[in-house]
Chain A
């Protein structure tokens, strides 16, 4: 098997020339870079660069065993202190300043392959240059350097260039210097039409109109290009195009994922994104709103909606799934996505162990998890918490006011109740004297010693039947009147429940009766008011006093003791020897149909008069009434309920522990929120919460955020980022092709441009680098096949969305309608067939058939086929980089998909209207699409196709009818169908 370069050469000798050419390029990215820098510094001090020479050796040859995952012999080359410390052998691998006595040198130069490092079965011995570099570096003091991407971007002087006329923007100078260093020259400027089509597709995702092509062609004003860019950036289409990019990062979809994959209404977030991008909200604010908009002081409806970003996580509604497992899966996905999107880091590697290459420790992962672990969502099938987004923009202000008012009233009510409910002096514990249950549960009464007292508890055990009703008789001895009952639900194992929560409960219905000493019912306890230990619970405890499944509860899992208080309509006089009988029905089940009951309950009663107002006409009742009316008014505003982020009340917030080896069922020490030590600290003086974390990400002190975003913009415009691994700026990622350029752009983005994406894009698309013609020459192809040097203009395939949107534009059918529910353009039958899911694809009529691709309904387990074929990801998880493929299935889609055939017909009718003979019509079509004249040879070939199609029509007009009624229309439709498949059109 050819697994080394030599045998590859043997196998592919005919390709040797190309391979050697590639070696030259490879060296100009890696090795010569370092050499050039060294040559410069050689005169002063020939220092070995840790980042350029030493870290790559460690990363490639050592950290597999001596790194974050395995610290063989207690030695890690991730941190200097570990590498310089005494290993388990008793020897230090590295003694700074003394290579001779450093054990590392002895081991890597050991002639015996058994004891040599790296060991023979792990790879070849280090070569003499590597050994020499290590030796010199140790002798020079073994200084560590941070990995490049953890060092804040530096301002770099513009490099000298020979072609001083070429740069239009400082960024060009960085690009040109590299082109010239490689002995190449930049490509000439692209023809106006070529640039216009490229920049239109890049900035708004649509090709220019005929009028735009014509106008720009004739615009002799010196700022003609700038005017085009200004027009495009101001177009509402801009937000739609860039939203498509961000939606991959947000893993946005219109369904929740997994087995049943049901619908999710989260499209108002997509609309938020389009609006916000069009408004050019600065990227730092954009970041903070999406990660922590709910925690902003005076958070608006819009701020809360932005947090739906992290509610695009999948939700598992499969029967019998563990809600806690999938809640945690969503939380970990939020951590992973946050680090992918803003830090281009494979931080998620640290879920199971310390990072294999980067200086992130296992515990630091869970400190970061703690920022996200206290949100209220819990993989509930209803996707709660939800925010009702008004459908009419005009209703937003009203809805916002109502929400604010509701929150305020809830707070006031809670403040009235809380001092009473929590005052131990008002409560008398009630010993249980009898307990029974419908179904199969076994009920027991136990006396538990707590603080020197025996406390009576009722427990449900064994096979607990869903829908059970518990009947519990409580001794009221010593109580003359009853004004309130308090029920406490406790975890069976409180310490363990803080780690892995227990099954929760929902008290669907509560009834109270009074029994006499003989056990006969003598009266009702007419509960009228109910409230619990938090101001805005998921289900209103009042529901426990009405019919239905909902009521007071901790749903579907509980990790801490909870309580609720139930107040009768009037004080109930208690005859001597009487008992209280509580009937508690638990109707709600978990996803597996399992019972959600109070498995461990305590009961208490109060005789205080203070409760009486709560069930009667009073300030309390007024407030409650007011609250009901406000909620009713809010409900009357037509709205879409969107999942959003919200925090748990601090008192009940989850604790976060380290998961041993990443296993969520195996917990180690508890942690508090925090950021990794290698990064700058959190801003001081603020609570350490999600908001602080968001601000920390969106700050100029963060060395990665701006770099990662400008790299993303570069990738969108040039096809490959300055760091090709846009998802990994760490040790295992690729190095930047133009490190100084990356820093330059990052500083400009976060400084001069104040995080404005539009201003950053403007600079890049107006640069000479971007304006080049996309023509390759043989020397460029040989030396730089993938155009990493940007010595020619970018030539890349249209994205999935652009392929559709371009066809829509050319057909003349594109709808400019913005926003709203996702649409269902034609899709072949039988594509949607999820298990246990009755939802169906109902093909849109009218203009919704022709909406931009960004509005197409996206089902995770079954994406719209024509888009999926062109590499649109499933959106299960965050995707930082779409890898463009080129497959026969793409050809089949754009040739045969009924949706594309319909658009080809539209395109043909526009061609027909533009001229009166076939040649002119075809040329007009090409001009419509590209703004350019059709090359004579191409025209000839397409005319031949026209004639062949016409002949086919003549041969069998009846068979041709489904496509067109007459010969000319038919022939032109065939040509239009072919033209939509030309490389010229599928590429920008």
Chain B
């Protein structure tokens, strides 16, 4: 144990007692400290120093922040950028021709074998708004708010399988065991509402994202920073409801009794952990109420349900969009949505561009647009960063699984170019960053790595990605990893 860590811990233990005696105002329970292990890497990082009893107490970000919270909409499976946002008339002309060797020689695809055919955009595109953004006709609602969006068309990744690619997008590394960006955000900033988890995960589409819970795991960060999955059916948070036969009033009495007995235990053994336990039980009790309340869509008026297309009690992307608004409204730092079912290979109807993909677009279009408008009308959009992405792109070639023409039309996984869009929270609205080549295979300008996007998101939250670190296994670990990452200044307003 080095000096700084000793010091931090002493401070934490000390604070714990002090807090118990005089519940202090939120914000003093944590601070930033220079990281001890940081010098080996050159520049010095910072570590959030926290009060063990209030690990999610909010901390002021070290830099001026444009966004206070994040809603991240992840379309698991990866929608086709070529059929939604990255308009390629040239590709249309080449439709049906053999893909030139230069694009396939020495490359490995997930399912494409040999020489596939090029595949033009499958839906008509039009320009929208003052910005003139190109969107296909699959997203008419979203097109109406095109001027609020900031597109990055030149995203690249080096992973072409779902699991590893999702891990890379959310934890900065394709391998398991690293901390997700929501964990980093709550570790670095805490959360504004202590009665709700600071990092909430909402799922739709019927399945977990391919990489499972690891995409909202806290990796080497303390597990208190991992995402908490909230659910539309059953308990909104696992074990949130009192068991049948115990009502809230009696539960309150139980928690009080536990606290009183624990205080007696503290008098005997003087273990500061006991005090932490007392406060965690009290928090759990408050969370039972506030999480139930936050997750109750029935409280919303009819016009809001109409706007989002929500039906309470269902598990849907629409419900999750509305829940996301309710959560950020209550001060939750990071809300992560995963919508499963965007893997449009063409191997079956559900995953064909002219079938399942069209349905998914319909399910996406109205609620996501409503979310942006609703945040705006409540004055929340300015300080809420909304990010929409998949984990990679789709090929400009038609998939030929097993080396033969398939009945339905689809595209394979494509790491070399994909589109994400951002909105709100300090991003440059009505702007499109970067350009891909005429068939949309790879960027020809402004290539943006996943780690660049992450660095930019952290910067918008007021954090320098180089300096938000956690010492683990001899390294100052950071979200963006060891390769150089850069903030994309041009997408910041």
- In the assembled complex, A218 has its CB within 8 A of some CB on chain B: no
Instruction: Given A463-B403, A834-B207, A835-B207, answer yes or no on A64-B41 (Cβ-Cβ < 8 Å).
Output: yes
**The stretch of A315-323, A376-384, A392-400, A620-628 that contacts the partner chain:** A315-323
Which 9 residue pairs spanning A and B have beta carbons closest together? A463-B114, A320-B110, A861-B212, A22-B10, A732-B474, A963-B245, A18-B14, A962-B244, A466-B402
- In the complex the two chains form, is B400's CB within 8 Å of A463's CB? yes
**The stretch of B149-157, B231-239, B302-310, B370-378 that contacts the partner chain:** B231-239
Instruction: Give 1 or 0 for each of B29-52: 1 = CB within 8 Å of chain A CB.
Output: 001111001011111101001001
User: Quick one: which of B206, B257, B269 contacts A944, CB cutoff 8 A?
Assistant: B257
CB-defined contacts of B140 to chain A, threshold 8 Å = none
- In the complex the two chains form, is A61's CB within 8 Å of B18's CB? no
- In the complex the two chains form, is A732's CB within 8 Å of B403's CB? no
* 13 new A-B contacts at CB < 8 Å, known A356-B475, A724-B1, A888-B280: A11-B31, A18-B11, A26-B6, A320-B110, A321-B110, A833-B208, A891-B283, A895-B284, A941-B261, A952-B249, A981-B281, A983-B265, A983-B274
Q: Sample 29 A-B pairs with CB under 8 A, ordered by A number.
A: A1-B46, A3-B33, A3-B34, A19-B10, A22-B9, A123-B39, A321-B110, A346-B473, A356-B40, A440-B114, A589-B402, A732-B474, A774-B271, A775-B269, A785-B13, A830-B233, A833-B207, A834-B212, A861-B214, A877-B176, A887-B223, A891-B283, A892-B284, A892-B288, A942-B261, A945-B254, A963-B246, A981-B281, A983-B265
Q: Which of A357-371 contact B (CB under 8 A)?
A: 357
- In the complex the two chains form, is B10's CB within 8 Å of A785's CB? yes
Which residues of A approach B to under 8 Å, CB–CB? 1-4, 8, 11-12, 14-15, 17-19, 21-23, 25-27, 29-30, 59-61, 63-65, 67, 118, 121-123, 257-259, 261, 314, 316, 318-322, 329, 346, 349, 356-357, 439-441, 462-468, 589, 592-595, 724, 727-728, 730-734, 737, 774-778, 781-782, 785-786, 788, 795, 797, 828-831, 833-835, 860-863, 865-866, 869, 871, 874, 876-877, 883, 885-893, 895-898, 901, 935, 937-938, 941-942, 944-945, 948-949, 952, 959-964, 970, 974, 977-978, 981-984, 986-987
CB-defined contacts of B488 to chain A, threshold 8 Å = none
A816 to B31, CA, bound (A): 49
- In the complex the two chains form, is B284's CB within 8 Å of A464's CB? no
- In the assembled complex, B301 has its CB within 8 A of some CB on chain A: no
CB-defined contacts of B231 to chain A, threshold 8 Å = 830
A123 to B159, CA, bound (A): 36
CB-defined contacts of A357 to chain B, threshold 8 Å = 40, 474
Instruction: Give 1 or 0 for each of B212-241: 1 = CB within 8 Å of chain A CB.
Output: 111001000011100010010111011111
CB-defined contacts of A871 to chain B, threshold 8 Å = 223
User: Quick one: which of B161, B246, B262 contacts A983, CB cutoff 8 A?
Assistant: B262
CB-defined contacts of A594 to chain B, threshold 8 Å = 111, 113, 402-403
- In the complex the two chains form, is B13's CB within 8 Å of A318's CB? no
- In the complex the two chains form, is A318's CB within 8 Å of B473's CB? no
CB within 8 Å: A-B pair count: 365
CB-defined contacts of A592 to chain B, threshold 8 Å = 109-111, 113, 401
CB-defined contacts of A883 to chain B, threshold 8 Å = 222-223
- In the complex the two chains form, is A835's CB within 8 Å of B42's CB? no
Q: Which of B287-309 contact A (CB under 8 A)?
A: 287-288
Nearest B residue to A896 via CB reads B239
- In the complex the two chains form, is B404's CB within 8 Å of A439's CB? yes
- In the complex the two chains form, is B402's CB within 8 Å of A1's CB? no
- CB B174 to nearest CB in A, in angstroms, measures 9
Nearest A residue to B218 via CB reads A885
- In the complex the two chains form, is B474's CB within 8 Å of A797's CB? no
Nearest B residue to A592 via CB reads B111
A357 to B162, CA, bound (A): 35
Which residues of B approach A to under 8 Å, CB–CB? 1-3, 6-7, 9-11, 13-15, 18, 28, 31-34, 37, 39-44, 46, 49, 52, 55, 62, 108-111, 113-116, 160-163, 175-177, 203, 206-214, 217, 222-224, 228, 231, 233-235, 237-247, 249-251, 253-254, 257-258, 260-262, 264-266, 268-274, 276-278, 280-281, 283-284, 287-288, 340, 400-404, 412-413, 473-475
- CB B259 to nearest CB in A, in angstroms, measures 9
Nearest A residue to B10 via CB reads A22
CB-defined contacts of B400 to chain A, threshold 8 Å = 463
- In the complex the two chains form, is A896's CB within 8 Å of B40's CB? no
A232 to B311, CA, bound (A): 57
A11 to B13, CA, bound (A): 17
- CB B210 to nearest CB in A, in angstroms, measures 4
Nearest B residue to A786 via CB reads B9
- In the complex the two chains form, is A942's CB within 8 Å of B257's CB? yes
- In the complex the two chains form, is A978's CB within 8 Å of B247's CB? no
A835 to B166, CA, bound (A): 14
User: Quick one: which of B10, B62, B242 contacts A1, CB cutoff 8 A?
Assistant: B62
Nearest A residue to B61 via CB reads A1
CB-defined contacts of A898 to chain B, threshold 8 Å = 243
Instruction: Given A776-B270, A862-B208, answer yes or no on A891-B265 (Cβ-Cβ < 8 Å).
Output: no
Nearest B residue to A877 via CB reads B177
- In the complex the two chains form, is B284's CB within 8 Å of A948's CB? no
- CB A635 to nearest CB in B, in angstroms, measures 33
CB-defined contacts of A465 to chain B, threshold 8 Å = 402-404
Instruction: Given A2-B33, A22-B6, A774-B271, answer yes or no on A874-B176 (Cβ-Cβ < 8 Å).
Output: yes
Instruction: Given A892-B287, A948-B253, answer yes or no on A59-B40 (Cβ-Cβ < 8 Å).
Output: yes
- In the complex the two chains form, is B15's CB within 8 Å of A978's CB? no
User: Quick one: which of B11, B39, B243, B413 contacts A60, CB cutoff 8 A?
Assistant: B39
A777 to B277, CA, bound (A): 19
- In the complex the two chains form, is B34's CB within 8 Å of A4's CB? yes
- In this complex, the member of B49, B206, B270, B287 whose beta carbon has the largest number of chain A beta carbons within 10 angstroms is B270
Nearest A residue to B12 via CB reads A785
A156 to B42, CA, bound (A): 38
User: Quick one: which of B42, B108, B238, B257 contacts A892, CB cutoff 8 A?
Assistant: B238
Instruction: Given A978-B258, A986-B277, answer yes or no on A439-B403 (Cβ-Cβ < 8 Å).
Output: yes
A987 to B1, CA, bound (A): 24
A454 to B203, CA, bound (A): 62
- In the complex the two chains form, is A316's CB within 8 Å of B163's CB? yes
A982 to B257, CA, bound (A): 10
- In the complex the two chains form, is A974's CB within 8 Å of B254's CB? yes
- In the complex the two chains form, is A259's CB within 8 Å of B233's CB? no
A935 to B276, CA, bound (A): 21
Instruction: Given A463-B114, A734-B2, answer yes or no on A727-B473 (Cβ-Cβ < 8 Å).
Output: yes
- CB B356 to nearest CB in A, in angstroms, measures 14
User: Quick one: which of B11, B42, B55 contacts A65, CB cutoff 8 A?
Assistant: B42
CB-defined contacts of A349 to chain B, threshold 8 Å = 473-475
Nearest B residue to A984 via CB reads B265
CB-defined contacts of A2 to chain B, threshold 8 Å = 31-33
CB-defined contacts of B277 to chain A, threshold 8 Å = 886, 983, 986
A524 to B203, CA, bound (A): 60
- In the complex the two chains form, is B401's CB within 8 Å of A3's CB? no
- In this complex, the member of B62, B113, B404 whose beta carbon has the largest number of chain A beta carbons within 10 angstroms is B113
CB-defined contacts of A938 to chain B, threshold 8 Å = 261, 264-265
User: Quick one: which of A733, A781, A861, A888 contacts B208, CB cutoff 8 A?
Assistant: A861
Nearest A residue to B220 via CB reads A883
- In the complex the two chains form, is B161's CB within 8 Å of A948's CB? no
- CB A977 to nearest CB in B, in angstroms, measures 7
- In the complex the two chains form, is B403's CB within 8 Å of A885's CB? no
CB-defined contacts of B40 to chain A, threshold 8 Å = 59-60, 63-64, 67, 356-357, 732
- In the complex the two chains form, is B7's CB within 8 Å of A1's CB? no
- CB A730 to nearest CB in B, in angstroms, measures 6
A981 to B259, CA, bound (A): 10
CB-defined contacts of A737 to chain B, threshold 8 Å = 1
- In the complex the two chains form, is B161's CB within 8 Å of A885's CB? no
CB-defined contacts of A774 to chain B, threshold 8 Å = 269, 271
A895 to B242, CA, bound (A): 8
CB-defined contacts of A22 to chain B, threshold 8 Å = 6-7, 9-11
Nearest B residue to A594 via CB reads B113
Instruction: Given A728-B473, A835-B210, answer yes or no on A319-B110 (Cβ-Cβ < 8 Å).
Output: yes
CB-defined contacts of B32 to chain A, threshold 8 Å = 1-3
